[in-house]
Amino acid sequence: MMKKSKRLKKNIILISFMVFSFLILSSCTRNYNDIKKGIVSPSRSSVTVEGFYKISEVISLEEDRFVDERSYKNFSAEFSLKEARVGMETVMNPKYKIKDVSTYDFFSKEYMVSKDSLGINEERMLVTSIKDKEKSFYDIYQLNDENIMIAKGNNLLKLKKITNESLIEKSRQEQKEISMNIEIEPKSGVLIGLKGKRDKESLIQNYRTLWITTDGEFQELYEIPNIIFPRKEFFELKVMSRKEENDSIDSLKITPIKRNGETGKDSKLSKEEKFIEIDFVGNNFIGIGSGKDTYSKAIYKRIVSIDKFYNLEGVSISSFFEERGKEEFDAGLENELEKKDIRNELILDEESRYNNFYIKRFHGNWMIKDRIMFKEDSDVGKDYIDIPIALKPPKELVTYDELYISWNEVIEKVPQAMDAFLAPKNSFILIRTPKYLMMYRLKGLNKLEDQPTEIVEIKEDEEIIMAEWAEGDFVERWTETAKVLGERIIFVQNIK
């Protein structure tokens, strides 16, 4: 009897040990679907993206731009608790943070592209942010257990899992980092257009232009009243205001500027409207907002052709994207109405919304937003909502709009960063904070120097509405114009 009792006790202990071991092992295996239930920190035994991945597809984030996939044929990545590697970049003892996001919202906001145009069918995905101590490394977009995406430059790399185990030591010699083949051109400059807040008493709104230039060693800064923008020659853009009772009655005035800085006689004036403000300035189009009763109600948005600006007629999104533009507007609206539980019949003049859009800065790029107006008797509680559209502004609107450096790299260097502007051919980058524009040189192709080269003071309430770039011989020509029209100002010596 004693022997049976001892055997029974041993069996109970053995079974308990097996059950306990099973529970421990199963808790270590956390797959994609488990993690998708919320934001979590991975267990110390595994990470959801653990494994070795090889390139399967390269997708350009710039529409109609050819990508030579041969440059990426040896590209791979792998992740473990000990090490994370993307191409030839490696961090030791990485920290992983995971969040579950809507694929539509994420790609529309971050890259201004639709998930459908990227060939993504998944409605949701995991975004795994990797850090080395406090330094950001890469964000991994995990579509499912087998496929991930990584943004590199202006391309989105899709990789397929080859094995669940990391092969870092075995494969390190095989990896070749992609060469971006970007030539460094030290001489470049940028015209930054700034819009201030409208004065409540006079109803006048201030605009100014900064010309910032460098030849690699020497920097210059000029301030010019109003907005000047380049075409074949320079033009001055002004808002002409007159006060009528409590309203501002405005019009736009565009005047050609001669080489000697004198304004031409053939200036043109637009028709008048209540409260006009300039939202965006390009070579061929300008973005404006206008109101319906007072300056605080500048709610109607439109993009106007400079050649036909005097009528202030907005162009349709289909002028740039044909039917695809309307389709993306419709998809954005449907997604927003469903998310906010708003009825479609509350929208004011649904067809006109294809003309009621604007361009705004967001994390280093220009983005398109659709403004949806509601009927006055609606129960929404607001006049309008703005919807980010999954389309990158075309070249007709924005001539140059590149940011090869990741936004994580920018905010890691300058935590207060609100925006960033990268010069063509990587001569420098301007980072906007609430009070400053900070000029940094670059180390290699995508790393910022430790300290800014120069600092420009701007007002917190000023909004950047233009960034027009020049390089090579054009820099000297634009500098001569800036000297005549404006005055040279001193860079900030000490940050307050």
pLDDT for 12 equals 47
Full-prediction pTM beyond 0.85?
no
| Residues 421, 405: Cα–Cα separation, whole Å | 10
pLDDT for 42 equals 47
Residue 24 lies in a domain: no
Q: Which of 260, 351, 323, 301 is nearest to 465 (CA)?
A: 301
Residue 450 lies in a domain: yes
User: Do 193 and 232 reside in the same domain of the chain?
Assistant: yes
Residue-by-residue DSSP string for 217-232 = S-EEEEEEESEEEESS
Among candidate residues 142, 174, 206, the one where a domain is terminated:
174
Residue 270 lies in a domain: yes
| Residues 154, 147: Cα–Cα separation, whole Å | 20
pLDDT for 63 equals 66
pLDDT for 21 equals 44
User: Do 129 and 196 reside in the same domain of the chain?
Assistant: no
- pLDDT one digit per residue (tens) for the chain, 496 residues: 444 444 544 554 444 545 444 443 343 434 444 444 444 444 444 578 889 999 999 888 876 666 667 667 778 899 988 899 988 788 888 999 999 999 999 998 888 888 888 889 999 999 999 988 767 889 999 999 899 999 987 789 999 998 876 655 444 444 444 334 444 456 899 999 999 998 877 778 899 999 999 877 778 999 999 999 999 889 999 999 888 877 778 999 999 997 666 776 667 889 998 889 999 999 999 999 987 765 556 578 999 999 999 999 999 999 998 888 888 888 888 888 887 777 776 776 666 778 999 999 999 999 999 988 877 777 776 778 888 888 889 999 999 998 888 888 899 899 999 999 999 887 899 999 999 999 998 877 678 889 999 999 999 999 999 999 998 888 988 999 999 999 998 887 656 5
| Residues 485/257, Cβ–Cβ less than 8 Å | yes
Residue 389 lies in a domain: no
User: Do 150 and 42 reside in the same domain of the chain?
Assistant: yes
User: Do 282 and 147 reside in the same domain of the chain?
Assistant: no
84, β-bridge pairs: 79, 91
pLDDT for 149 equals 96
User: Do 218 and 241 reside in the same domain of the chain?
Assistant: yes
Query: What crossing angle do the helices spanning 103-111 and 323-340 adopt, rounded to 10°?
Result: 120
> 53 is written with which tokens?
């991945």
Residue 346 lies in a domain: no
User: Do 42 and 100 reside in the same domain of the chain?
Assistant: yes
> Residues 6 or more apart from 408 whose CB is under 8 A from it?
136, 139
Residue 183 lies in a domain: no
User: Do 292 and 421 reside in the same domain of the chain?
Assistant: yes
User: Do 170 and 198 reside in the same domain of the chain?
Assistant: no
Tally the domains of the chain.
Answer: 2
Residue 349 lies in a domain: no
User: Do 62 and 158 reside in the same domain of the chain?
Assistant: yes
Q: Which of 440, 434, 404, 398 is nearest to 419 (CA)?
A: 434
Among candidate residues 125, 150, 174, the one where a domain is terminated:
174
Residue 323 lies in a domain: no
462 lies in which domain range? 188-315+355-364+403-488
pLDDT by residue (tens digit) across 311-345?
999 999 999 988 888 888 888 888 888 877 777 76
User: Do 114 and 208 reside in the same domain of the chain?
Assistant: no
Among candidate residues 174, 203, 226, the one where a domain is terminated:
174
| Residues 398/359, Cβ–Cβ less than 8 Å | yes
pLDDT by residue (tens digit) across 23-48?
433 434 344 444 444 444 444 445 78
User: Do 198 and 287 reside in the same domain of the chain?
Assistant: yes
User: Do 436 and 304 reside in the same domain of the chain?
Assistant: yes
